[in-house]
């Protein structure tokens, strides 16, 4: 970490487990610039990992366990979390890697409004991002096993419908009652960030393929931009039944982009890729406003053709039935940037 920090500064940070690392891009309005920076961050971290006899892998869960319990990164906060939830920390089951997408806002209220309006679209983002079928040495039957493991922590799930006053009340209650250690443990799928002025989307797996990362980022920004227009016109957030929303997230985690999904707005079961097309159509005004619509259409076509990260991992395994091939393919894709 010292070598990486010397090169990247605050753009690289230690994570909960010592086997993890977090890299952060700088704010940008240009998707090409974002992709270039992500490629550079991965290149530097790959070189640092190699110097320590390790490999850099962008995936939602560890494909192969080391055989020994993971080491928690030293620190007061992580120590308190370990003491409070030891059953979530004592094995590699708890080691998950997510891709968090931030959209700049002027304040907490402006973050909460699009968060309220986009709840029904987040399962589709989750499906497109699914990249963790293997965990602890075997295929767990999920396209996104990370979603399942992460959901064991308190504070994880769809965000409730809240205005700024309601958010403050709920956040204070969760901390004061001991449900959460602090506000940073509000792990809702869409939330106001507690440390930067952004709306933070937290529903995606880390992906080795930067096509997927770029697509997810484009869709999030395009959707947020479109929804802000609706909010400005005074339209209320859609009334999404809680059970339908949870079912949609379950299907997204189970099957990813290759299977059936649930449209929470219409209450109908359709292929996940149909939902992806609907999301693209909904986000189109915001995408077009910044010149990203054509790129988003092309990136979605690529993901549709490849089947996404989970399908790629399973294909790598099926070639010879070796988990090492899955890791090797992830390493190459992560480095390709």
| Residue 212: strand, helix, or coil | helix
Handedness of CA 56, 61, 67, 69 (dihedral sign): positive
| Residue 190: strand, helix, or coil | strand
Looking at residue 214, its pLDDT comes to: 98
Exposure string for 13-31, b = 16+ CB within 10 A, e = fewer = ebebbeebbebbbeeeeeb
- The helices-and-strands tally (H runs, E runs) of the chain is 14, 11
Q: What does the DSSP 8-state code read for residue 266?
A: T
Measured CA to CA, the distance from residue 137 to residue 134 in angstroms comes to 7
Contacts of 319 (CB under 8 A, 6+ apart): 325
Give the model confidence (pLDDT) of 251-266 as tens digits. 999 999 999 999 999 9
Instruction: Kindly write down the DSSP assignment for every residue of 45-88, as one continuous string.
Output: HHHHHHHTT------SS-SS--SSPPPBPPSHHHHHHHHH-HHH
Burial class (CB in 10 A: 0-12, 13-18, 19+), 277: middle
In order of start, what are the domains of the chain with their CATH numbers? 79-88+96-323 (3.30.590.20)
Give the model confidence (pLDDT) of 194-227 as tens digits. 989 999 999 999 999 999 999 999 999 999 999 9
Looking at residue 4, its pLDDT comes to: 75
Location of structure tokens 């530097």: 44
- List per-block mean pLDDT (blocks of 10 residues) for the chain, which spans 337 residues: 76 91 95 96 94 95 85 93 87 83 93 96 98 95 97 95 96 97 97 94 98 98 95 94 96 97 97 98 97 98 96 97 97 92
- Report pTM: 0.95
Looking at residue 90, its pLDDT comes to: 67
Measured CA to CA, the distance from residue 323 to residue 329 in angstroms comes to 10
């Amino acid at each position: 970490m010292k070598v990486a920090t010397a090169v990247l500064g605050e753009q690289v940070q230690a994570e909960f487990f010592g086997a993890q690392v977090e890299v952060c891009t700088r704010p940008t309005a240009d998707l090409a610039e974002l992709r270039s920076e992500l490629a550079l961050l991965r290149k530097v971290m790959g070189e640092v990992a190699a110097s320590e006899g390790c490999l850099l892998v962008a995936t939602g869960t560890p494909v192969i366990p080391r055989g020994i319990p993971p080491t928690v990164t030293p620190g007061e906060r992580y120590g308190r979390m370990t003491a409070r939830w030891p059953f979530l920390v004592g094995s590699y089951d708890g080691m998950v890697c997510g891709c968090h997408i931030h959209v700049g806002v002027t304040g907490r209220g402006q973050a909460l409004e699009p968060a309220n309006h986009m709840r029904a679209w987040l399962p589709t983002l989750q499906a497109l991002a699914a990249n963790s079928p293997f965990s602890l040495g075997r295929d767990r039957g999920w396209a996104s096993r990370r979603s399942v493991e992460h959901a064991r922590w308190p504070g994880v799930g769809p965000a409730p419908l809240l205005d700024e006053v309601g958010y403050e009340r709920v956040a204070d209650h969760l901390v004061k009652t001991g449900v959460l250690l602090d506000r940073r443990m509000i792990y809702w799928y869409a939330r106001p960030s507690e440390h930067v002025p952004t709306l933070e989307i937290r529903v995606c797996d880390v992906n080795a393929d930067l096509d997927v990362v770029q697509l997810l980022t484009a869709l999030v920004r395009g959707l947020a931009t479109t929804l802000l227009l609706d909010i400005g016109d005074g339209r209320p957030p859609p009334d999404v039944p809680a059970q339908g929303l949870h079912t949609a997230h379950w299907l997204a985690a189970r099957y990813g982009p290759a299977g059936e999904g649930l449209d929470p707005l219409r209450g109908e079961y359709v292929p996940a890729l149909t939902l992806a097309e609907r999301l693209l159509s909904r986000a189109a005004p915001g995408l077009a406003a910044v010149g990203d619509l054509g790129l988003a259409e092309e990136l979605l076509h690529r993901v549709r053709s490849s089947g996404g990260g989970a399908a790629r991992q399973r294909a790598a395994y099926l070639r010879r039935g070796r988990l090492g091939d899955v890791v090797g393919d992830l390493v190459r894709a992560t480095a390709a940037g």
